[in-house]
Amino acid sequence: MKTPRWVALLMLLLASLALGACGSDDDDDGGGDAASTTAEEAPSAGIQNNADNASTKLTIGSKNFTEQKVLGEIYAQALAAAGYDVSKELNLGDEKTALKALEQGEISAYPEYTGTALLSFFGKQADELPKDEQAAYEEAKAGFAEKGLTALPPTPFVSSNEVAVTKETADELGLQKISDLKGKSQDLTLYGTPECRQRLDCLLGLQEVYGLKFKKFVPVDIALRHEVLSKGQADVSIVFTTDPQNKREGFVLLEDDKGMFPPYNSTLVVRDDVLEKAGPDMEKVVTQVNEGLTDEVMQELNARVDLDKKTPEAVAGEYLSESGLVE
């Protein structure tokens, strides 16, 4: 079983490198604000190693769930390929813990989400949240700038909190939107992370924005968020858009009709002093890496860790090599 997969991977890699070398640039986004290179530029999309970077020490951190660990690994390995002296401090904890580590200098950078930053760090209320991804990024960037932190350009993928129920529950109670839970939630049990109780984009928001009261809220470790739903312990659970288990288990993600959830693009947040020392290469590498991180790809990478049970380190390496960023 191992050999055919390896061969398939190799063939795919060769095929994609061949395609890449032919230099087709039809799939350039029309955005135009990203640092785009002209079509005549050398076809090497890979990360260039710059010997000058070796004097800069970077410590990349991450929060405590799969997607964060994968992102942390990707950035760490990509920056190492660019010649930086990189060490890792992944799996720090929730967003408050990670921010504290960043502010105190224990880490140089970690990937945060624009929506999370707006709600948890900058105290935005539900009605003040921007709906546009770019606007959310700009606001988050401004907020971080006041703390002496720079939010580097965001990823294309969005990883939002989602209110999930099983297909059976959705059919039985006729649930399509979160508002449909009104009048029914008092008989339902909600499972979420321990921090969910305090977050406006979690239980607190459901209580304040949608006016929902649940029969019981049970805090469980973030890794169990699908388990509790599929095993029938939870009636409702909080999951992420990019979780591979959603499609696999056939969960129904209820539509956020009152706009409780802001956009959640991922942005690597760096200390200003570190960014200055690191030079222009850091932002360049991050932008290169981000380009390939679409919704679909992020979900695939998460699946490789959560479902195929590979390590985030290995999967990050696969992403970088499969997309041609690192040889």
Partner 1 sequence: MTTTMAFLGSFGDAIDFIFSERPSPAGGTDVGGLGEMWELMREHLWLSFAAMAIACAVSIPLGLWLGHVGKGGFLAINASNVGRAVPSLALIAFFVAYLGVGFTNLVLALVLLAIPPILTNAYTAVRQVERETVDAARGMGMTGFQIVRRVELPLALPLIFGGVRISAVNVVATATIAPLAGVVTLGDPIINVNTYGDEGRLAAAIVVALLAVVTEVALGAVQRAVTPRGLKLEAGKRRRLPFPMTRREATS
Partner 2 sequence: MTLAQVEIRDRSDTCEANNGFCPDWIADNFDRYVDPFFQHVLLTVLAVGIGFAISFTLALVAYRRRWLISPITQVTGILYTIPSIAAFFLLLPITGRGNDTALIALVAYVLLIIFRNVLAGLDNVPADTKDAGRGMGLTDRQLLWRVEVPLALPEIMAGLRIAATTTVGLATLAFFAGAGGLGEQIFADITFKSNVVVAGGLAVLLAAVLDGLILLVQRAITPWTRAVAAR
Structure tokens at 109: 């950078």
Q: Which stretch binds partner 2 (CB under 8 A): 141-149, 192-200, 234-242, 295-303?
A: 295-303
Q: Which pairing describes strands 189-192 and 161-165: parallel, antiparallel, or unpaired?
A: unpaired
Question: 259 phi and psi, to 5 degrees?
Answer: 65, 45
Structure tokens at 19: 């395609």
Q: Which stretch binds partner 2 (CB under 8 A): 37-45, 189-197, 235-243, 267-275?
A: 37-45
Site string for partner 2, 210-249 (x = CB under 8 A): -----------x-xx--x--------------------x-
Q: Which stretch binds partner 2 (CB under 8 A): 8-16, 121-129, 184-192, 195-203?
A: 8-16
Task: Pick the closer one to partner 2 by CB: 83 or 324.
Answer: 324
Sequence-ordered alpha helix ranges (H) in the chain: 2-22, 66-81, 95-103, 114-116, 133-145, 167-173, 203-208, 227-230, 244-249, 272-278, 280-291, 295-306, 312-322
Q: 310: burial class by Cβ within 10 Å (0-12, 13-18, 19+)? A: middle
State the residues that interact with partner 1 by CB under 8 A: 93-94, 96-97, 120, 191, 194-195, 197-200, 204, 218-221, 224, 227-228, 231-233
Question: Distance between CA 148 and CA 240 in Å, rounded?
Answer: 29
What does the angle CA 303 – CA 307 – CA 311 come to, to the nearest 5 degrees?
80
Give the binding-site size for partner 2 (rule: CB under 8 A).
43
Asked if 1 touches partner 2 (CB under 8 A), the answer is yes
Give the shortest CB-294-to-partner 2 separation in angstroms. 9
Give the shortest CB-219-to-partner 1 separation in angstroms. 6
Site string for partner 2, 296-315 (x = CB under 8 A): xx--xx-xx--xxx-x----
Q: Are 180 and 186 in contact (CB under 8 A)?
A: no
Residue 198 interaction partner, one of partner 2, partner 1, none, beta carbon < 5-8 Å per kind: partner 1
Task: Pick the closer one to partner 2 by CB: 102 or 301.
Answer: 301
**Position among 262, 291, 302, 326 found at the interface with partner 2 (CB under 8 A):** 291
5 Cβ neighbours under 8 A, 6+ residues apart? none
Task: Pick the closer one to partner 2 by CB: 117 or 303.
Answer: 303
Binding residues for partner 2 restricted to 246-275, rule: CB under 8 A: 248
- The neighbour count for residue 57, using CB atoms within 10 Å, is 13
Which residue is listed with tokens 């660990």? 69
Q: Which pairing describes strands 109-113 and 149-151: parallel, antiparallel, or unpaired?
A: unpaired
Site string for partner 2, 38-77 (x = CB under 8 A): ---x---x--------------------------------
Residue 37 interaction partner, one of partner 1, partner 2, none, beta carbon < 5-8 Å per kind: partner 2
Angstrom distances, CA of residue 89 to CA of 27, 42, 72, 204? 35, 35, 9, 30
Contacting residues toward partner 2, per CB under 8 A: 1-2, 8-9, 12-13, 16-17, 19-20, 23-25, 27-28, 36-37, 41, 45, 221, 223-224, 227, 248, 288, 291-292, 296-297, 300-301, 303-304, 307-309, 311, 318-319, 322-325
